[in-house]
Structures are given as C-alpha cells and as structure tokens.
Structure 1
Amino acid sequence: MADKPSRALVIYGDGLASAVLPSHNNLHSFASRAACGFLSVRASPPSETEDERICRDLAQLLDAYDFYLSDKRGEAEAAVFQTLSERFMGLRAAMITSCPSVQSLGRKLGFHILHDSELVIDDGFNYKMLEQVPDSLDIASKFLHLLGFSGNDVLEKYDFDLVFLHIKTCEKFREKKEMLVSNMDVNMLNGFVGKILEKSHSGSAIGSRLHFSIILSYGYVSEDDKLCSLLSRPSTETNSDLCLLCPCQSYTMKGGHKLDNIRHHHPMLIGQLQEGLTRRDTATTFFFEDFKKNGASHAILSDRFLHEVAFRLWKAPKYGA
C-alpha cells in the first residue's frame, strides 16, 4: 500500500486493439512492466449506431451504464445518479475527447472537459515519432502537469486527480495546422506512451505516484465473430451436464446478479502500471493471446474499473480481494 495517494492517467483507445502491431515497441514495453488483463463488456443491441456504441462502451467503463440507458430513454431526471466528485470523495477528473456525444456524457458524469486546442501538436513535426517532439511542444509533459507532475517533481498543488484521454480514430482527424490529441492513431499513441514511460521511469518520483492505465477495445464486433474468446473451452464442449455445476465467472456478475448480455469474446485489453504497487506479470506484448496466457488477472466487469482506480487515489475503499 502506498504512503501517499496516487494520481491517475487513463488512455482509452476505442477500436485500437486490433491495430497494434509487433513494431509498436512502447506499447509492448508498457505491457511487459504492467499488470495485464481484460474488461468484459455487454453485447451490442440490434440496430445500434456507431455513436451509440461508443457512448455505451464508455458508459460501462465509467460505471454509468444504467444512467446512460436512462438518459437515452429520456428518464435521466428520474434516475438517481451522483457525479464523480460525489461518488468518490471529491475526485477531480478531466476528460479529453473530440467526440461531442462523449463530451456530453462526460459532463453529465462530472468530468471537466478539456479541449484539444489546449493540447495540440504543431504541424511541422513528425506525428509518428512523438518522442522527438521538443519539450516546449511535449504533450506528455502537458498531461502530466495537469496531474501535478512537473519535470521530476511532484507538486502539492495540482488541477486533477484523474485525467482520462478518450481516443477515437477518425479519417478527418487533421486540421490545417494541427493534430487533435484525442484522434491519435495507434502509431501516435505508441509514441505518446513512450514519452510517458520515459518521464515516469523506475526510481523516479513520478513513477511511484502515477497510476497509468492503457485500455484498448475492439470497437464494433459482429456477434458472429467469436475470436479472442475469454472462454477456456470451445462452445461445443460447454453443453454437458457437468457445466451446470460451474459457477458464474465474476466478469459476468454485478451486485450479486448474473448479467445475461455479457460478450464472452473481444473484451477490452487493459494494462495498469505504477512502480512498486502494481503486480508485474509475464506478459511481454500488448496482444490478446499474451494477456490471456500470461496476464496477472483474467477478466473483471468493465463497470469495476473506475472503482479500482479510485482506490489507488484514496477516493474509494478496496473492492474484492
């Protein structure tokens, strides 16, 4: 247990999991130092738009799924829902995203929405090599400064306990003279992660106080696509009477009740790193099969993620074992 509360940086790459290549060395370096596992999500309902899917997946990650459904049906006023600050002991959280619908959801949940114009990279630099960006334009430093990390110093006065970067790759992500941070592709993300790792290296003051999470999802997945399965046995082997004796997996449960719409394939991939606190496992790459074989944790319901982070920030009691 840490002797001081952590501060959290969360990067959520919507739909980027399948774009990771062996050449993305910084993502794999992160995985080799992190505790790796999965976050289960609910299956997509019929006739769901891409924008609805983006918000629904994010709502699960922020434990606001029921609120999102109520808000979508126009019943939000009747729903009892507390903001992040109310739920987690005054938690100060910021979100960076270019999606208007996500911005709207974030505000309702209590996030302070930061605009990309505050975090831009000049068009004159190579976006795919963010590690070469000079300090004056170093986006990683700007993110860390929001959390009270300046150089190698940990400041007592800072703006946010949690900074959440929502990345959704868009074809029209580039404007005339700038690149929106929240529309990185996986190459840019790889460079950005490299800068964060460089500044929070082992033995640094930042490394022991920064709780760094990277979450990559598969985005839209057809229900006919059963690859990347969390199940240890093929479905053809799970119909025997003996299977009725097997308990429900925890990633399918919430509040003691089994959820019937959990998708058992294509979960979100998650790695979490904080020097001296997170348990390093034997995974060495940011790939599904490596996480499944060598990750420290199998899968938890995505709704539990925010609670786990809040615990590291001393904003919530410990959940589970």
Structure 2
Amino acid sequence: MADKPSRALVLYGDGSARSVDPSNTHIHSLASVGTCGFLSLPHAPPAETEDERIVREFAHLLDASEAYTLASGLKANGSENEVSTLSERFCGDNVRTINFLIGSIMRMSQPGSEIAPRLHLSLVLSYGSVTDKDVSDFNVKKTPQEGINPAFQGLVPRQSYTMRGEKTRDNVRDYCPMLVAQWQDAVTRKDLVDTLSFEALKKLSGSLVIPADRFIHEVAFKLWKAPKYGA
C-alpha cells in the first residue's frame, strides 16, 4: 500500500493444477476469499525438454521471457549428467506442501490483523507438460458468436489477452492456462469462485484471462508500484 510497507508472496506450483483435489482445503479457501483467473502462455517450441519448459514458463511469470530467449542459446560447460534436473531437485508432493504453506500464512494474516493488509498472497498453478487431451478439456478461448453476418465478423472485438498494446500477439496458447488466485485483505476483490479448479474459474472468476508475462505487473499494481494493467 502507499501508506504502509507491503510485500507480495508468490507460490508457484509447476504441474500442480491437475493434482488439486477437495482435500486441499487451504488452496480452495484462498480461492474463495480472493480473486481468481487464468494466465495464458505461449506455445512450447519444438523439441523442448521438461527443464527448458519449467524455466521458460517461470521466465514468463517474471516478464523476463525476452531475456530468457537470448540466454537459452548458451550451453553450460561439462556433461549434463553432472547436474541433476530441476524435477529431480524439486520433486515431492508440491500440492500438499503448497496447501500447508497457504494454511499457515492465512492463519497469521487473518482479516483485521496487522499483517493482513500488508501481504499480497498469490498462488499460481500450471499444468506442466500438456497433451492433445488437455487441448480439448482446458480451452479458455471463447467460440465466435454463432449466426453473425460474415460481413460484420471483423467488428467482433478480440479478447484482450491476445493483444499487447495495440498489436495482436501471434503466439498465444488458448489451452491449459495457469490457474491463479490472489488475496490481500481489503485490497483484492472477492469473486464467486469457491474451489480452485479450471471449471470453477472458467465460470466464476473475476480476472478472466491475462498473458502470463503481465502477472508481475498485476502484482506490482496491487502494491501500488505500477499503473493498472491496460490503463
């Protein structure tokens, strides 16, 4: 906030979106008290490894995708066998860990407490590697209006997340977006989502879809460090 110190805590669960179930009560509690939405990613480049995907998607969350693209051409010295993979180093039950962390954080930051209005908590869950089945099951793109006269098709506005400034983005993945829930006491609005699932977010979320590389700007806005996205 502008009148007091504020901090943002972002929890990123790579590949965890498909593993959230009713037992993860703290994750659903966060979704029910905050505002939720989707973060759209670009298509994966051909022959991308799992580790490359993890780093690339994380770079988009930090709005550092251009820097990553330049750096990704550099190869580390030595054999790849000398370094463990990201999945090997960070394996484990990510959903259970995230659920525990959110529960602990929310207990410390109850509405009305000193820390509540000073902490912006964001939970971002991705689907990890996706398959053809995911394309049909988790598609966020709205279908064109049926029955519209073809002569007026060009007048139908594009969805905002497919744009950057006044230019159309030419690499937008409409399927398997990241799920995001954000909460800060008396700052973020509450939407109608009560469970952090694709179905609930598609029907009831308040933030709809934004490009993943705008996420860090959105967090900065909540802390009064940047203008509102799209303003």
> Does residue 258 of structure 1 match 2:163?
no
Tell me the equivalent position of 1:191: 100
Tell me the equivalent position of 2:109: 200
1:212-291 paired onto structure 2 within 5 Å: 212-223=121-132, 225-233=135-143, 241=150, 243-291=153-201
Shift of 1:9: 0.3
> In structure 2, do the counterparts of structure 1 residues 25 and 238 end up closer, same or farther at CA, with 3 Å as the change threshold?
farther
Alignment gaps of 5+ in structure 1: 75-98, 102-167, 174-179
Shift of 1:313: 3.0
Query: Aligned residues, how many?
Result: 221
Mapped to 2, the partners of 1:292 and 1:238 lie a distance apart of: 24
Mapped to 1, the partners of 2:147 and 2:165 lie a distance apart of: 25
When the two structures are superposed, what TM-score results if normalisation uses the length of structure 2? 0.85
Equivalent position amino acid for 2:194 in 1: T
Tell me the equivalent position of 2:39: 39
Deviations 1:10-53 (CA, angstroms, capped at 9, x unpaired) = 00101100000011111001100010001110011111111111
Shift of 1:2: 5.5
Equivalent position amino acid for 1:22 in 2: P
Equivalent position amino acid for 1:304 in 2: R
Equivalent position amino acid for 1:271 in 2: A
Alignment gaps of 5+ in structure 2: 75-82
**Is the 1:217–1:269 Cα contact (8 Å) retained in structure 2?**
yes
Mapped to 2, the partners of 1:5 and 1:237 lie a distance apart of: 50
Mapped to 2, the partners of 1:48 and 1:200 lie a distance apart of: 40
> Does residue 313 of structure 1 match 2:220?
no
Equivalent position amino acid for 1:275 in 2: D
Identity %: 47
Mapped to 1, the partners of 2:69 and 2:22 lie a distance apart of: 38
When the two structures are superposed, what TM-score results if normalisation uses the length of structure 1? 0.63
Mapped to 1, the partners of 2:60 and 2:147 lie a distance apart of: 27
Higher RCO structure, 1 or 2 (CA under 8 Å, sep 6+): 2
Mapped to 1, the partners of 2:154 and 2:132 lie a distance apart of: 24
SS in 2 for 1:212: strand
Larger mean Cα displacement after TM superposition, 198-207 or 185-194: 185-194
Which of 209, 217, 235 aligns to 2:118? It is 209
